[in-house]
Structures are given as C-alpha cells and as structure tokens.
Amino acid sequence: MIEQLEKPFSEDDSLAVLNRYVRDWFSRNFEELTPPQRFSFKLISQGSNTLITAPTGSGKTMSGFLSIISRLFDYSLEGRLEERVYCVYISPLRSLNNDIFRNLTRPLDEIYGEIVKEKGVEVIKNNIQKVSIGVRTGDTTQQERRQQLAHPPNILVTTPESLAIMINSKRFVEHLKGMEFVLIDELHELAGNKRGVHLSLSIERLEEMIGRPVTRIGLGATLYPLDEAARFLVGTKDGRERDCKMVDASWQKKLDVTASSPVKDLIYTDGDAIEESLYKRIDSTIRANRTTLVFTNTRSGTERVIFNLKKRFGYGEEIAAHHSSLSRESRMEVEDLLKKGSLKCAVTSTSLELGVDIGSIDEVIQLGSPKSVTRAIQRIGRAGHSYKETAKGLVIALDRDDLVECAVMLDAARKRHLDSFSVPKNALDVLAQHIIGMSLTQKWDVDKAFEVVRRAYPYNTLDRHDFNALIEYLAGNYVGLESRRVYGKIWYDEKERTFGKRGALAQAIYMLNLGTIPDEVAVGVFKDKKWVGNIEEEFLARLKPGDIFTLGGRLYRFEYSKGMKCYVGDAKTSEPTIPPWYSEQLPLSFELANEIGEFRSRLSAALGKERGRAKRGGANDKAFALLDDMPVDANAKAAIRDYFTEQLSYAGVVPDNRLMLVEETQDLEKGTTLLVFHSLYGRRVNDALSRAFAIEIGETLDADVGMVVSDNGFVLDLGENALTKRQLEAAMDGLASANIATMLRHNIRKTEMMKRRFRHVAARGFMILRNYKGYKISVGKQQLNSQLLLKAVEEMDQNFPILKETYREILNDVLDLPRAQEVLAMIRKKEIRYRFIRTDVPSPFSHKMITFGHADVIMMKSRHQYLQRLHKSVMEQIGG
Amino acid sequence: MILNDEVELVEGEPIAYIRPLKALVMADLHLGYEAAMAKRGMLLPHANLKSILSSIENASSVREVTTLIVNGDIKNDFSTVGQAESNELYDFCSRANALGMGLVLIKGNHDNFIERYREAFRFEVHRQEARIGDFLFFHGEEMPGSLGKLMVMGHEHPAIGIYDAAGRLEKLKCFLYGRYKGGNLLVLPAMNYFSSGTAVNIEPKGSLLSPLLRNAGVESMEAIALGYGSTLAFGKVRELRRIAAARHAGRRG
C-alpha cells in the first residue's frame, strides 16, 4: 500500500534508531533534525520503501543516507562488514555524484575515527572495518573499475547508465547480491522520461537477480503527484503495488518572489531602453547581494547576459557563465568558486537547476518565464540555502504575455500548485534494450521475463502482444531464416518458449549501444572548406538555403547540406533569420496554462465590474485590488492592467481556460486570413490541437493550411480563404467526435519530427546500432532516405515495435494527445465554450502568437517593430 | 514519357526504354544492400529487390523487351560477393530470364568479382562501356572512352530538392537529359530503393561524383523527376537551383 505520513516521529525516537557513534557524530554536527529527517531516519531503519520530497538544502541527502550508514556501522562493529555493495545510490548527474562522494567521505572518516579512538586495538582484533564509498560513472577510469571489481565499495554512487552496464556483468552482480538499499536522488528528473523508465527496469532486474526485496528510497525536490512518483519508485509484485511510505516535507521553505517589468510600457519603450533598464536592474541586484544566481532559458542567452554585464558595468572575473556547452573543468571551477563565496554572480541556463552543491545564494534572478511552476520553484529554491531561510527570487519578463505568465506562476509557486509529471508507459525501445540485456546473463522463460518486466511501474500495463512482437523482432523473425544470424540479437526457441544470448559479440555490442539519450548528432559547419563549428541536427532541419544564423557569435548564411555536413557563406545582413534558441525553447505546461486561464477570468471579471461602476461614478479599484495580491511590482501591475483593458475594449472578450476564442483576422503584412485560436491548455496540447484543426479546416476549405503553435494558442494561416461561423461550428463538431489519434498519426507521418524520432527510437531499440564492430554510424551519415526506410518498415508490418513506439513517443511524450482529447471532449460536453469573432486587426492577446510562435527575452528587437505596428492599429480603433 | 523517337522513360520508374534495341536500361541497383547494412549494425527491412523486380515487371508488361541493360552497380559490396548478394543476384537474373530478357551488365565501381557469376547467371559483362548500335552505355565513374548519338550513364544517383511551404526539403529522384559533345546524354536515377540521391540543384557542381557531369555543364541539363507514380519534366537544373535558393526570400524573417 502507498500511504502518506503526516505526523513526524519525535526527535528522540528518530535518533534512537541510530548506532551510537553515528548518533554522536550527528549531534556534534547538527543542532536538530530537519523536517524530512524526522520521518526518514526511522522509516528507513525499519526497511520501509520511502519517498521523500523536500527542498534543496533541507538535509535531504543525509535524511536518506544516515540510517543506512548507521546500519553499515552496526555490521562493522559486529565484525561482519564485508567487501561488497550494501547500498546503491543513483542520481541523474555525474557532478551530483561527485558531490555526494565528497559529502559522505567526511562523516564516514569522522565516525570511523571515533570508533578507532575508542576501541583502539580491538578494531583489528574484531575486524571492525571502515565503511567504504566509491563512485562509478562514465568518467571512472578503467583502472578504477578494475579496482572496484576487486574491492567493491559498501556504498556505490552511480548513474542510471552505469548501473545498467553493471547489472549485465556477471562478476559485478555477484558483488551486488547482498545489496539492501537502493537510493534514487533527484527522482523528479527521472520519473518523467525514458532515462527513468530504463532505470526502473534495471532495478527490477537487479532485484530479481538478488532474489529478495531491496529497500527503495526516493528523494526529490519537487514531485507532483507524489503517489505517482511513489508508484514509479516501488513498482508492483504479483500484480499488487509494493508498500511505500510517502513524506511531503516540501512545504517548509518560504518564497519571497516578484514578477517584474523593467519599464512601465513594454510596447512603445525603445528596445535599447528596455535592455538598459533590464541590465540596470540586474546590476543593482548583484550589488545588493553577496551572491546572485541568474537563470536564462537558453545557452545563447547566458552568453549574452555575461557579455552585457561586463560591457555595461565593467564586471570582470567575479561573474561567470555555467552551462552545458562549457567544458566539465570550467563548470566545476565555477561551482567551486560559488561554494567558496568568491563569485558575485553566476549566469546559467539549466545546468545549475539541480542539486549540485553551490553554497549559499542570496537571490535568484530569472530572465523570462521558466514555463513551469516546478522549474520556477527549483530555480528560485537555490536561494537561501538553509531550509529555514526564505528563498528570494526576481523574475523579469520582457513582454506582456510573459509578464502575466510569470505573475501567475509565482502566485502558484507560493501556493505550491505544482505541474504534474507523467511516466512514459510501455516504451518499447527501452524494453528492447533490456530484453537483450536480460539475455546476456541467463536463459529466460518468456513468461517469467514478461512477469519481471511488468513489475516495473512503466510496464505494469504492458500488452502481451507487444512483448511478444519485441521478442520476435529481436530474434530476427521479421527477416528470412538465412539472415537471422546477422539480424537476430537474441535466440528464441518457440517450442520451449525460452530466449537467450546470441553471438559472442552480443555483450560488447550491448554495452556500446546502451542508453536512452539519443546521440545528439552534431552537424559540422564548413565555410570555404574550413570547419567553423557544430550545430544540432534538429537545427539543421529548420534551415533553408539563404537563412542567416549565429554560431559562436558570428553570422553565417546557410547554403546547403550534405549528409552531416552543413556548408555556409558570409552573411551580408546583421540580423539572423533563424533565432539560435529555436530548438531550445521550453513549452508552457498544462497546469500553468490553466492557472493563467483562471487568472484571466478573474481579472477580466474585475475589470468588467469596474467599468460598470465607473459608469455609475464609482471607484476603480477592483482590478488593482486583485493585482495587489499578486507577486508583481508596480511596473508589472500597470502593464498587466493595460493589457487586459485593451483586450476587453477591443475584442469585448478575454479568452480563458473555459472559453476558447477563435478569432478570424488578417495578417497585416501578407494580407492573408488568420484564424487565431486562443487556447489555454499548454503548448503540448496546442501542438496536438493545432494539427487536428489544420487538418479538419484544411478539408473544409480544400486548401493547405499553415500553422504556428505557441504557448497561449495557435494560429492557422488560411491564405486567401475565409471561414464562416457555420464552417467553424461544423469543424468543432467534427473534431469533438473524431478519432484524432488516427488523424494525428496520419499527419505526423510526413513530418521531419517523425523521421528524426524514428531514427532515435530505432537507435534506442537497437534496430540501428550506433557503434558496431568499429563502425560509428548514424542513418544520416549513410544518406539513407528515412522516408523510404519508414515506408519499407510499414510495408513489412504496420505494428513493427520500433514504428509503434515512434508514434507513441510523439503523440504522448512530445505532443499531449490524451489531454487534447480531454479538451475536445469538454468542448463536446460544453464544459469548455468557444466563441467566434472577426477582427480587422488582430486583438492584443493574439499579437505575440502572430509575431512569433517562440520568443526569447534576450533577443527581441526585430520582432518589436511589428508588435508596435499591431498595437498601434488596435489603439487607433479603440481610441486609446 | 517519350523523350525522343528512340527513347522512352517508363512512367514513374527509374528505367529508360530504348526502342530500337527493345531494351530496358537501369543503373545502381546495389543488390545485397540490406545485408551489407546489417553487417554495419543496421536492420533494414528487405525492400530493394522486391521493388526492383516489380519495377521491371511494370516496365515490361506493355513493351516488347528482349534485353535488360544494367548500367553499373548491380551489387553493393566492393570487397566480395556476399551470400545475400549472390542470392539476390540469382533471383534477379532468373526473373529477367523468365521474362525473356537477355542481361547485359556494364561494370560499375561496386561490381568487383561479378565475372564469377557470368556463366551461372548467363549475363554479358562489359568492363568499361558498351556500344550497341548508336548507343553508348557507361557507368560514369570515369570519363567514357568514346562518344555516341545517345550516351547513357548512371553512378551519380541524381535527384532534385524542392522546398515546400513549411520549409521541408523533399528529394525526388530524377533523370538528367542534355547535350554532350554533339550527342545526347541521359543520366539514370538509382534503382536502389533506399537511395535518396544527390540533389543536383542544391549541392554545388564541384561536389558531383562523375567527372563527366562536372565537365558537362549540368546546369543546362533538363531534370525529369519521378515520384508518386509519375514522371515529370521539372525544367533545367539552373532554374531549379535558382528556385531553391530564392525559396527563403518570400517569407518573413
């Protein structure tokens, strides 16, 4: 049973479970137990599966480890601590692993030191061993690995990928046979993606090999829904959920947050003036604090902020960048400097979001919306290191939609309305890898293997047919008998219903190709036959000849690409046509979009009442009163109020999450008809809805319909055509009862995304090996037409596992088909209403959607002018 | 599509029909391709041979065909003739024989050791090029030794690249047709199912594989593309290059 504990144990009860030496050490070093520790010491010592959510700096790691350390010193004092692994600690980050190693080495040394001091020569006589700890990641050298195989550490600190490799080594598994605890840190970074899915299977396989249950401990800073995270952590046995105790200690850290606009008027203030004001604001915050951490949403933004701070205010070495494109050494240097307190300010994109120890931060500045409440809490939670302190955060937005979004987000953060995560279910590519892995260590009965796989929560609803299809595929049964020797990755005996390892090289091939992170295929960029840098494959897919893009601070003109090489020339203009963050932008979450919807409806109601009262000569304070309760500064308050007033005066309606506004208008530059859907369900849902509407309306009009998806809705470009109200109603009715899953499958079949994702899934599912007998390949390099490859696979079998998984991944993980279906069902049931309006000039709330689907706050000048033009046209009409 | 009195391009197929010779001509089959890829760790479904055989049947059903000319690269592996290759070669040759076609093979750069099978599979092998009547067939990896009224080559795997409204590049296999030193030159697209080809209107001339095309002025050749079951003249390569390059100009930055 999964249950949440509300009442902590007393301090005495908690400490009583600890070994004397461990307890003394703890009391010497800490004044009191932190909230998560009041639950965890006792729970873990009882061997309960335990899930703890608590903010960074709340002694979370110690809460997970201390009972384990205590247990190990018990063994040690009894003279029975052996040279084998008792506890496996897994975190998604290597840097976090190194931190944990450092942070545990000291207590282990000190506790053992006390024991030695007290026991003296008895230590040798009674074989009282020191509890050892070791790290094993991709960075671990061969020599260290050999050392670990000879002398395994008692506590093994590792990553999901390294664990997956270890469990396929028979010799290493021997050392794991006595394992009692598995501890997964930063669970929120794993539970919602394929890395976590991969890990969940590794743990079930490991437990099966060990032959008895292991105590599972999960730690996370922000986990919602908590019970879903618990299910992910513990999985099932014999069709029933394993027991788990959940502890929510995440309410402890207070937030002091403000959404801010650098200027009063975000529309007509000159771009340079906005920037000026923005950087002044950052500068004064840095000066007011000892240490400030600045988050941008993109790597390019990080560089730009550093550059501007240095140029404008003469900063030097006391500010530094930290992002994933930098070398490991320079990142670690920045982390060290932060810890020592010798940096005034670090600017980062995502790389400092997780629990890497960076010492004490006074204030966090976030530039632009981080797009999810959870991420906002995580980032701002880096400020005020101890859990008792208040985390201070400033979020600066540079356009009005962003401002509303940030205000609502911070309000939700204060109320702890988190975004939910969802676990990818029944991912066939990850499972394919594990089936091969399983075959390496033993011969398997198919039914037994199926049963073990279904214990992992991401597979507890796995369909037997899908499992069988995978076995058939891996056994090479999709090709003729004579080629099976080449294609087959496992052998499968249909009569005996068993499978096992095929070929002497299977082990080596498996180890080289294992993992879920797709090869970020780097495309070399060449100018005059000289290499100038790399871009991502995804970025290349967006480029057309003549496009201008930035690379390493310089502008290039795209000419053509061949295979994985991209050829460029000099750019003669000064503005890029494709922004560099194009593939980096984060999508707005479903929950936050809904909160924005709620806020819109509240504020527009207040404004409506105000107007009524103004006519009767009453006071105008409703809307301001509402905004007073929001975490916004004075500039932001004025800007938000103006924004809503303009929308209401011009369009007569403010769309929200219960009212979808469909606005037929025109593109002021091209003169084409635009259909703007104000749809507040998050970008992934909008991505699905926009495709469905584009297909439906395209069929109605018998024309091609262009589309742009954004966070607050989507825009369909109807060209010369127009849509009548009746046609829209027919399309709404049609979609509300249509099978949009089939429609979307058909639609995405032809996209670049399908080709790219298919290649990733094919690589993960070992259909295309990235490393094979000395070949290092990608389909792209082979100049293979993925369109034709897809067609060939479809002709072979429409339900080929790799194909099936590609569709599942796109529809459920990239788009949000389930929620898009929910929204359509709500439209059918009239729980969501829609209204059709026509405007000569796009209404204010559609401006951002029209000017650009994606936007970055750091680079916005070129878009600004068009926005001003749109706004001016609106204001002329409402006489503002 | 009728190219001239003597040459017809089979609708929707990468095959030319030479009327005076009663011959189908094709190039770059790369039989054994999937097995060769499997050796490199890629599982490709078997699609190549099947699609080639169906193309041949489609082309010969309404035409009188006595000869099948393979203009180079009938197989894929440079270093040997693999098991899968020889199986596919066998299937290919026996089907052609069953359809009453004699086989003529002009060796391509992938066709090492093909002579071993000459007797068993009953085909004629030409090392560099073959002159049949007024027609000159050569693979294209090297310059031809002579000229002809019509010169037919393969090797290049030509295609054209077209950007659609969403900015997506679509590649279509194509024939190239133009003049060369007093005769006509026809470049065949690849028969291989998986080959997407080289977009001759996007990549610079210098990057073309065939020495003859690098010299011959590919810009003034006509591109005749195939796809979606039909064969259509798309105009000169020069024009297509201009369109691809100008594609971006029409949209807002």
Chain B residue numbers touching A567 (CB-CB < 8 A): 204
Tell me how many degrees the CA angle A413-A417-A421 measures, rounded to the nearest 5: 110
Alpha-carbon distance of A125 to B98, in angstroms, equals: 89
DSSP B162: E
pLDDT band for position A520 (50/70/90)? low
Per-residue pLDDT at A779 exceeds 60: no
Write out pLDDT tens, residues B51-82.
999 999 999 998 999 999 999 999 887 777 77
The pLDDT value given to residue A579: 55
* Contact (CB<8Å) B253/A792: no
Within 8 A of A546 by CB-CB distance, chain B residues are 245-249
Q: Which residue has the tokens 């900063």?
A: A315
Three-state SS sequence of A232-293: HHHCEECCEECCEEEEECCCCCEEEEEEECCCCCCCCCCHHHHHHHHHHHHHHHHHHCCCEE
Neighbours of A614 (CB within 10 A): 11
**pLDDT higher than 80, residue A785:** no
- The token pair at A812 is 């459920």
Q: What pLDDT score does A300 carry? A: 73
pLDDT in tens, A45-99: 999 999 999 887 788 889 999 999 999 999 999 999 999 999 999 998 887 888 8
- B171 in any annotated domain: yes
A673 pLDDT tier (thresholds 50, 70, 90): very high
pLDDT digit string, tens, across residues A582-613: 445 678 999 999 999 999 999 999 998 888 77
The string of pLDDT tens digits covering residues A114-161 is 999 999 999 999 999 999 999 998 888 889 888 998 999 999 999 999
Cβ(A497)–Cβ(A447) below 8 Å: yes
Record: contact A544-B42, CB cut-off 8 A: no
B1 occurs within a structural domain:
no
Q: Does residue B210 lie in a domain region? A: yes
Q: Which segments of chain B have a pLDDT < 50?
A: 248-253
Count chain A–chain B contacts defined by CB atoms under 8 A: 106
Which residue in A327, A339, A324 sits closest to A385, CA to CA? A339
Sorted by sequence, the CB contacts under 8 Å of residue A105 that are 6+ apart come out as: A133
Q: Show the domain range for B57.
A: 7-250
**Interatomic CA distance for residues A140 and A134, integer angstroms:** 10
**Subunit contact A483:B87, Cβ cutoff 8 A:** no
DSSP code for A586: P
Interatomic CA distance for residues A673 and A845, integer angstroms: 17
Interface contact A788-B196, CB threshold 8 A = yes
Q: Using one digit for the tens of pLDDT, what is the confidence trace for A620-665?
A: 677 888 999 999 999 999 999 999 999 999 999 999 999 999 999 9
Strands A771-772 and A775-776: antiparallel
Pick the residue with more confidence: A756 or A443?
Answer: A443
Cβ distance A542 to B167 less than 8 Å, yes or no, reads: yes
Q: Let me know the angle formed at the C-alpha of A295 by A293 and A299, rounded to the nearest 5 degrees.
A: 125
Subunit contact B204:A482, Cβ cutoff 8 A: no
Tokens (6 digits) for B59: 């082309």
ipTM above 0.95, yes or no: no
Top pLDDT among A522 and B149 is at B149
CATH number for position B186: 3.60.21.10
B173 in a structural domain: yes
Q: Do B204 and A795 touch (CB under 8 A)?
A: no
The answer to whether residue A576 scores a pLDDT higher than 70 is no
DSSP for A83-146, written as a single string: SS--EEEE-S-HHHHHHHHHHHHHHHHHHHHHHHHHHTTHHHHTT-PPP-EEEESTT--HHHHH
Residues of B with CB under 8 A from a CB of A: 35, 37-47, 83-84, 87, 163, 165-169, 171, 193-196, 198-199, 202-204, 207, 244-249, 252-253
Number of domains making up chain B = 1
Residue A362 has pLDDT above 80, yes or no: yes
For residue B40, the chain A residues in CB contact (below 8 A) are 769, 772-773, 775, 777
Q: What distance in Å separates the CA atoms of residue B155 and residue B135, rounded to the nearest whole number?
A: 18
Does B2 reside within a domain?
A: no
